[in-house]
Structure 1
Amino acid sequence: MGEAPSGRHRHDLDGDNRRPPRYSVAGPVAGTSQSPSGRIYPSRTNYLFRASVSTQQRKCKAHTSFNICHFFGDGAFTSTMAATARIRPYKDFLTPALHRRFTRAAAILLAVCYAESILLGEWNSFLWSWFPLGRAGFRTGLLFISAFSIFVLRVAQLHVGQRTSNSGIATFRGYAFRYQTIQTTGWYLFSAWIFSEVFIYSAPKSASIKWITEGKNNERPRLNERPIYIMAFFLVLAVLQSAIHLAYDYDRVDLPAIKTAKKDSAAKPEQGSTESIGPSTKIRDSLPGIVAKAFGRVLVMTILMPFVYSIFIRNTAWKYTLGFAKLFWNLPKTTSLPIISPFHWTVLGRTLYGGVMLVLLWEIGNRVFSTYVAEGPLKNERPITYESKDPNGSLLTGLKGKKLQTRAFAFWELVLIAERYQGRRKVIFEDIDRKGGSTWSQILTACTETITSMDTRVQTLDPASSPTEHVDIQPSRTPQIVSMLNGGDKSVKPEEPIPTLPRLTGDIQKENIWNAPPQPKTTAERIAKGSAALASEYGNTPTAPISVDGRRLLTQATSKVLTPEQQQALSPQGIWIALSPYVTQFLQSPLGWPFRQEFRRRIAAVVLGQPYGDAGIILDSVEALSLFAVASLKEDIYGNVQKDVPDIIRMLTKSLVSLEAMRKSFGVHWTDVSGNIESPEVDLIVGGLRGALQDIIGAFGEYFDDMKMNRADVRAAREAAKAPEPQRPAEMQETRKRK
């Protein structure tokens, strides 16, 4: 009997010339040989359990009352166990990967804390000023607690996808009064308090910022107000940083929108880069901007904080700090404020220096965390489900996950498999014996649900919510494509009458309505008549309505007293025309930004969904279907993918046409004073749909007749896949300027 090839691992699924293992019992598998009679014999080595078959037979006989291995064949034990093995969920592989990245990010943060510990300490000794086992190491540990609290916050509020809302004020109303706001502020306050204690403790004695000032000539020690001001400065800075954290959504993990290596990609770098740039390089490149941002923010705080402290904080902070200090020191009984204010230039300089250190700790920590967590779902240049006993099953659990974070990484891994790993693609194509359908059919269902959910949001857009002002667009190919998709070449069948709902009232009375109604005869009719009269009187004004003659006299008096111009100015339309210049100036100012319903925000809320939306998942679904379909021409030995290609083409065409039509007819709100009608998110999705259609049509164009695909669908797909006219965006902008 044949021997299994040595040196081949059971998960060598990504090689170009290696045949992937077969997990079904139908047909020969790796490590078996076939006799002339057709019977399958296992070889000496088993790939799933790395044990000889004789050893497995002994174990099987020891745990069963009859020889099930002999009854079903020598290879039944392995096949049955592999088929009934529990599928590990995708999160079991994603969570350890995130833990490894978290550990690397924490190591970098510890190095930053050590560098700041050396800068904050005294340089009175060449060795102990930097030696890790001395004061520098102790300060590093305390600073790491301060910085690590931000990591705890990020883990607790981690999410994928951007926040989608129509305006800034809508985002504020939706997120400001949540528990996450209190949690964010609390963790930043804790971090600032730890840092302030380390900063005050590490200052030299000549700085005079210790909590207690020793008295002279038998005087009692006094409470020093300078450390109170420094701590208040750091705490207010923490409140400001928490507001920035919430406003700019630091909790978001910014995954790249485009994960595949496009040769002719026209995407901008900020929209999704395909270059393999390491996380350390990204962090190093962002350091100059972080330093400039931290210095500018703290400089403004240093200028404004003396006024804020004197007006709002000083009395309360002095009172409570003095009461707490009297528990440990014998201080004077007076509670009056010190005559000398703590705003010495040396104190202001130290707050500027310490504030920059603290903000750098926060900003670098956030950047390091976001950079490492946003890495691809790979381990040792292989997909993270590579180590699973059932890689396809684990991947499917991620594609069907409820959390957006899990699905985002699962779709990312799917599109990487479709692009790079030929062995995994073959396993997906050949895995047809699975509960719930073949692996390809379940992948197709998951991708289709993602794309059709976007179509549903686009098609169910309420026309009443759209503004009355629209951008004029010249006629395009969209109506023709819609006609093709709807079967314009076919005869239209007459619509069947829609059955009406059951009637809840009687027929309309045919008697003379001017006759007096009949008097109620029974007690129930009298009660009903009285209740109806009472209900009709409820809410009416006690005064009689103005008569026709009175209204005519009022109109005549108004026309005699006011001129037509004055009457028009006092009308609601006239009042609005008079106030519109001031409203426009307010909306154009920075204070009016939260009230603008910008075009980009509104259309992103529709296309991506609310409250969070990620264009990357939609693009991954489109790219995965395209790559799998093209690769199936050479790798799908069963031809299952080719049968679904017509449906994929129709779905992508319909999505592209509906999205472009909505994009062109989407109105500009009257508060959008900028008039910018650009939408990078929608442009990315449109480009992904068009590129996928072009790839599939280019690969299957000569087989459309054999696939029995409708000619109207083919024409619609070819029309939709054509590149747009390059002058269209400029024409749209010129149209908007004319309006």
Structure 2
Amino acid sequence: MPPPGGAGIASSVKPGLPRARPYKDFLTPALHRCFTNAAIIGLLVCWIEAILMSKPHLFWSWFPFSMTGLRLGLLFVSCLTIFVLRVAFMHIGSATDRSTFDSFWRLFVSKRAIWTAVWYCTSGFLFSEVYIFSTAQSANLAWIDPGRSYERMRLNERAVMLRTMFVLLSLGQAMLHLAGDYDALEIPYGPAARRGAQQPTSSQALALAQMKRAALPTLLRAVILTFVTAIWGTILYFLALRRSAWSVAYSIGKLFYTLQKSNTPSGLSDVFPLFFRFMFSGTLLVIMWQLTNLAFSIYASQEPLKKGTPLTNDSKDPNASLVNGIKSKRELPHSIALWELLLIAERFAERRRTIYSDFEKPGSTTWAEISGACLAKVERVSQSIRDAQTTSTPKPAPVEAAPPPKARISQPLRDDPAIFNAAPKPSSAFESVAVGVGAAAKSLGQSPAASPLAIKARAIMGPDGGKSTVSDLSQKTRSYALDFLRTPFGAPFRVPFDRRINAIVLGHPHSRAANIHNAVQAVCHLSVCSLKEDNFGQVQKDIGRIMRVLMAAIRDMQGLVQSYPPHWTDVDFDGKRRVRDVEELVGTMKQGLEMVVNTFGEYAEALGISRAELRSARDLVGRGEEMVAVR
């Protein structure tokens, strides 16, 4: 039997809050929608190219349920390989390598480079087989050349060369993909006034408009890449790849045909028609690659909204799901959640008010978690700057302690002034001979210059024992290195000043600029709007901390740019300490600080902000240029 009052206690306990769904539950469907939209664009491109490959016919050349439809399906498989590549290596932010050589080593000597080449070669191989399958017999692109009636079958070098050219084109596109960092997902950032409070058109119309603007540049790039591959690929084929390609093709062909044994290629005929065929088919392939990549980038970088509202609005606990994404250790959910937070702070007033009023959760409030995560992004910038400055400052040489006195192992000198007197002159001839022999014996081995080997060594090393030779050699080596760095061949090994600063402030190997910008803008907008919307006064106690963190970060970035030494390989450094990406970040922080100061300046004393801090903040915001160039 339960104790008295047990029922009342049980009824007074509030039911548990619904567990917040992970942020990925909302992000994954959004990415699926982006993938579907991009795949539709790719399917449309493949359909157009399948029509161009088919024989001219008023109906069957475009009807999907025909050979055109079969070609469409096979071409779309070639297109899907690029989507697989993009999803596998998608990351946030551009690269922040310190030098071109670092970029080369990271991009082209890595697992990512290998898989990029593999997927592009797979796509190019599928496309080439579809194109060769679609050509007429008169094109003479079959795998086997039957020859005359009395000759044995042999490989067709025209088909071998065309497939080799497609492989080279695939490798060229893979290099462009890596060098252009196609896998980077660029999240738009910057002041809200510059970006606009709302999009003038729907996201679908905006994406199609971007695709339309990129159509002509894409066609031009495709023609240029195909033409360059056709010229240099032909030269490379005849100089280095011809026998290897022939051997590989022969090894494959003999599995299916009885071929004539021949270690030498059979020769080419009608080279110019083959060149123009490659120009046509290669241009179609590059257009498909470029538009596929462009469509994926456009749709994947759309705002995290669903039907015009934030993604997490469908959650039973929207703010908890959003905080879950902001705290995620994975790059993609974390960045998208910060972007969604900024959109909420700028555009969605009703959702923004729930952040101020959501404080009934155990442990912490929504505002405390959001503001803490945003300010942690700014504090991380300051910490990175301090670590870099500490590393660049030379450590003082350690002071060696005086050695302890050694124990005496002999008797002390005799206190007899007579020992400093000159030796008495010999009094006899025998003593004179003895003194001379003793002096000669003592002199042996005591004069380094007396040895012939020592004389030669001193002539070679110099009077200072070779110290100047080592110093001269070091200076000459450094001079030769600087001369090499000034040449075009030394450009990849230079470490420019702006790249070093970007790597320190924005992160390495990929930039965190979008996350920092969005975090600063979000916390500042939420702070300013809290003056009218925060009915419980949660935000006011953190205004002072927000101001101090922003002020410290601005000073740290300005001090870093003004005082950080350039790398010795930066031979083009002209003393102008201007770093555009850091200037933009300082401008965003100053704009946010100005908003907070203008809104809460009259309440400074009540918020625990001293007059000196307020004056310092106003001076920091009111400074002329965002970054002062030190010459």
Matched, 1:432 2:359: yes
How far did 1:426 drift? 1.1
> Paired residue for 2:606, among 706, 716, 736?
706
Once the two structures are TM-superposed, the CA of residue 549 in structure 1 deviates from its matched residue by 8.4
1:635 and 2:533 aligned: yes
> Deviation per CA, 1:105-132, whole angstroms, max 9, x where unpaired?
0001000011111112221x22111111
The equivalent residue for 1:300 is 228
Q: Report 1:365-380 matches (<5 A).
A: 365-380=292-307
Q: Which residue in the other structure is 1:358 paired with?
A: 285
Give the superposition deviation at 1:580.
6.0
Q: Is the 8 A contact 1:436 1:442 kept in 2?
A: no
Alpha-carbon displacement from aligned partner over 1:646-703 (angstroms, at most 9, x marks no partner): 1111111111111111112223323334437442221111011100011011111111
2:52 aligned with 1:119, yes or no? yes
Q: Give 2:39's aligned residue.
A: 106
68, 72, 75: which one aligns with 1:143 = 75
In structure 2, C-alpha distance between the alignment counterparts of 1:371 and 1:513, rounded to whole Å: 85
Aligned pairs for 1:258-657 (under 5 A) are 258=190, 261-262=192-193, 265=194, 278-338=206-266, 340-341=267-268, 344-462=271-389, 465=392, 509-512=404-407, 557=459, 571-572=472-473, 575-576=476-477, 579=480, 582-586=483-487, 589=488, 591-657=489-555
SS in 1 for 2:539: helix
* Residue type at the aligned position of 2:472: S
Contact 2:561 2:578 in 1 (8 A): no
Preserved CA contact (<8 Å) 2:243 2:264: no
Instruction: Give the aligned partner of residue 4 of structure 1.
Output: none
Q: Would you say the 8 A contact 1:120–1:202 is kept in 2?
A: yes
Cα distance between partner residues in 1 of 2:388 and 2:371: 26
CA contact (8 A) 1:298 1:356 kept: yes
Alpha-carbon distance in structure 1 between the residues aligned to 2:136 and 2:277: 12
Letter in 1 for 2:534: D
| In 2: Cα distance, 1:514 partner to 1:611 partner | 63
C-alpha distance in structure 1 between counterparts of 2:470 and 2:110, whole Å: 45
Instruction: Give % identity.
Output: 33
How much has 1:422 moved relative to structure 2? Answer: 0.9
Counterpart of 1:163 in 2: which secondary structure? Answer: coil
Once the two structures are TM-superposed, the CA of residue 223 in structure 1 deviates from its matched residue by 2.3
**Residue type at the aligned position of 2:145:** T
Report the Cα distance in structure 1 between the residues aligned to 2:568 and 2:150, rounded to whole angstroms. Answer: 73
Structure 1: gaps of 5 or more residues: 1-65, 468-505, 517-543, 562-566
Cα distance in 1 between the residues matched to 2:9 and 2:405: 89
Instruction: Tell me: CA distance 1:556–1:188, structure 2 relative to 1, closer, same or farther (3 Å).
Output: same
2:152 paired residue number:
220
Moved over 6 A (4+): 66-71, 272-277, 548-552, 558-561, 567-570
1:642 and 1:510 map into 2 onto residues whose CA distance is 66
- Deviation, structure 1 residue 92: 0.6
Inter-partner Cα distance in structure 1 for 2:448 and 2:539: 77
Q: Larger Rg: 1 or 2?
A: 2
Indicate the SS of the match to 1:705: coil
Q: Does 1:246 align with 2:178?
A: yes
Residue 561 of structure 2 aligns with which residue? 663
Per-residue displacement from partner, 1:199-228 (whole Å, max 9, x unpaired)?
Answer: 111112222212223433444343211111
Q: Is the 8 A contact 2:247 2:263 kept in 1?
A: yes
**Partner residue in 2 for 1:204:** 136
TM-score after normalising by structure 2: 0.84
Matched, 1:721 2:616: no
Partner Cα separation in structure 2 for residue 317 and residue 600 of structure 1: 45
Preserved contact between residue 466 and residue 667 of structure 1 (Cα < 8 Å): no
CA distance, structure 2, for counterparts of residue 510 and residue 327 of structure 1: 88
Judge which range, 677-686 or 626-635, deviates more: 677-686
Q: CA deviation at 1:347?
A: 0.6
Q: Could you list the runs of 5+ residues in structure 2 that have no partner in the other structure?
A: 395-400, 412-444
Amino acid at match of 1:461: A
Match of 1:72 among 11, 31, 34: 11
The whole-number CA distance in structure 2 between the counterparts of 1:343 and 1:659 is 64
Summarize deviations over 1:335-386 as a string: whole Å, max 9, x none.
Answer: 4321x33570111111121111111111111111111101111011100000
- Partners of 1:224 and 1:719 lie apart in 2 by 78
Match of 1:257 among 189, 195, 212: 189
Q: Give the match's secondary structure for 1:613.
A: coil
Is the counterpart of residue 168 in structure 1 residue 168 in structure 2? no
Aligned to 1:53: none
Structure 2 counterpart of 1:101, one-letter code: C
**In structure 1, what is the Cα distance between the partners aligned to 2:198 and 2:278?**
39
Partners of 1:186 and 1:221 in 2: CA distance: 32
Residue of structure 1 equivalent to 2:120: 188
Structure-2 separation of matches of 1:152 and 1:653: 44
> 1:695 is matched with which residue: 595, 604, 611?
595
Q: Is the 8 A contact 1:105 1:372 kept in 2?
A: yes
**In structure 2, C-alpha distance between the alignment counterparts of 1:708 and 1:661, rounded to whole Å:** 27
Q: Using a 3 Å threshold, how does the CA distance of structure 1 residues 441 and 515 change in structure 2: closer, same or farther?
A: farther
Greater shift in the superposed pair: 389-398 or 422-431: 422-431
Q: State how far apart, in whole Å, the 1-side matches of 2:26 and 2:471 are.
A: 69
Q: Write 1 or 2 for the structure with the bigger share of helix.
A: 2
Q: Which residue is 2:21 aligned to?
A: 88
Look up the SS of the partner of 2:550 in the other structure.
Answer: helix
Deviations 1:376-405 (A, max 9, x none): 110111000000000000000001000121
| CA distance 1:219–1:601, shift in 2 (3 Å) | same
Aligned residues of 2:485 and 2:494 also touching (Cα < 8 A): no
Offset of 1:166 from its aligned partner? 1.3
**How far did residue 257 of structure 1 move?**
2.2
Secondary structure of 1:336's match? coil
Amino acid at match of 2:473: P
Q: Tell whether the 8 Å contact from 1:568 to 1:574 is kept in structure 2 after alignment.
A: no
1:49-105 deviations in Å (ceiling 9; x for gaps): xxxxxxxxxxxxxxxxx99799738xx8xx62xx43121011110011000110000
Q: 1:287 to 1:677 in 2, by over 3 A?
A: farther
Cα separation, partners in 2 of 1:418 and 1:577, compared to 1, 3 Å: closer
Quick one: distance in 1 between partners of 2:601 and 2:371? 21
Considering only aligned residues, what root-mean-square deviation do their CA atoms show, in Å? 3.3
